[in-house]
Structure 1
Amino acid sequence: MELDIKGILEHLPHRYPMLLIDRVLNVVPGESITALKNVSINEPFFTGHFPHHPVMPGVLILEALAQAAAIVSFTSAGKKPDDNTVYYFVGIDGARFKRPVLPGDQLRLEVTVERTSRGIWKYKGCAKVDGQLAAEADLMCTMRSLEC
């Protein structure tokens, strides 16, 4: 299954400036996702990180991986986010940054579901630019209802 921006907006609660997925190339519910983030000089974080040498913050690369993971979780659960559903990061292990991500780069986000247990999803994610590893991490996330 592929998703354009309209489909992404239906599967994620995030909006500008925190929406970090531009296209989903493939999602296999319960298994994996491959998505893209086009990194533009117009990103709001580049004005301060860093003015004379713009580099995408590593924490936002991890957030992009988590957003890709959220799409897998929502499609696997057969749900779409609503005002009563929140998707939280609950852990990040083994995060490593291998190369800077610069304006003009396209991040290829690859996330694989490792396992799920009691509402906790565990993933292995990597972000690549031109086939080179930019970042990798093991992620844990959960979906929670805000209803009492």
Structure 2
Amino acid sequence: MESKALYVKDIEKIIPHRYPFLLIDKIAYIENGKSAVGYKNVTINEYFFQGHFPQEPVMPGVLIIEAMAQVGAVAILSEEKFKNKIAYFGGINKAKFRRKVIPGDTLILEVEIIKMKGFAGIGKGIAKVDNKIVAEAEIMFIIDK
């Protein structure tokens, strides 16, 4: 289990995502191969707010799911046997969007790996703002051998 927080430079050592598509700012908790909790500070300067929507900026739901997937990737790729690999999306199930995420929000992303078989698995993700669920999904992934 890892107790030290991971910041962007640490996260970049684990997953290949970079600006503008690295959607997590911090990993506050990680249990290698099992779960992680990450944060995304949503600001008006996000590239996607230029078109989604200029008069009423809302973070696209698919990017909330992507942020969850990145947190899950940090959890699974921190396991020794998967270090220096890439986790790819395999599918998304049970995605639900409950509230808007807007500039000024801090998105809390909780992901638990609920099934693992070889190089494939499923993570259950929950995204919260102000302790209220804004989105949830099951994320299937495949790890590049």
Give the TM-score range, shorter chain. over 0.9
Structure-2 separation of matches of 1:77 and 1:111: 19
Structure-2 separation of matches of 1:13 and 1:79: 13
The correspondence for 1:69, drawn from 49, 53, 72, is 72
Q: Taking every aligned residue pair, what percent have the same amino acid on both sides?
A: 46
1:104-123 matches, cutoff 5 A: 104-123=104-123
Structure-1 separation of matches of 2:86 and 2:7: 22
Residue 40 of structure 1 corresponds to 43
SS at structure 2 position matched to 1:61:
helix
8 Å contact from structure 1 (residues 95, 136) kept in 2 = yes
Structure-2 separation of matches of 1:36 and 1:139: 18
8 Å contact from structure 1 (residues 12, 80) kept in 2 = no
Structure-2 separation of matches of 1:51 and 1:119: 41
How many residues align structurally? 142
Q: Which deviates more, 85-94 or 103-112?
A: 85-94
Structure-1 separation of matches of 2:18 and 2:33: 24
The correspondence for 1:26, drawn from 25, 29, 48, is 29
Q: Aligned-pair distance for 1:78?
A: 4.5
Which ranges in structure 2 are unaligned for 5 or more consecutive residues?
A: none
Q: Name segments (4+ residues, structure 1) moved above 4 Å.
A: none
Q: Aligned-pair distance for 1:30?
A: 2.2
RMSD: 1.1
8 Å contact from structure 2 (residues 90, 141) kept in 1 = yes
Q: TM-score by structure 1 length?
A: 0.92
Structure-2 separation of matches of 1:143 and 1:77: 13
Counterparts in 2 of 1:30 and 1:80: CA distance versus 1, 3 Å: closer
Residue 94 of structure 1 corresponds to 94
**Structure 1 residue identity aligned to 2:61:** G
The correspondence for 1:7, drawn from 5, 10, 14, is 10
Q: Aligned-pair distance for 1:75?
A: 0.7
8 Å contact from structure 1 (residues 10, 80) kept in 2 = no
Which ranges in structure 1 are unaligned for 5 or more consecutive residues?
A: none
8 Å contact from structure 2 (residues 77, 87) kept in 1 = no
SS at structure 1 position matched to 2:78:
helix
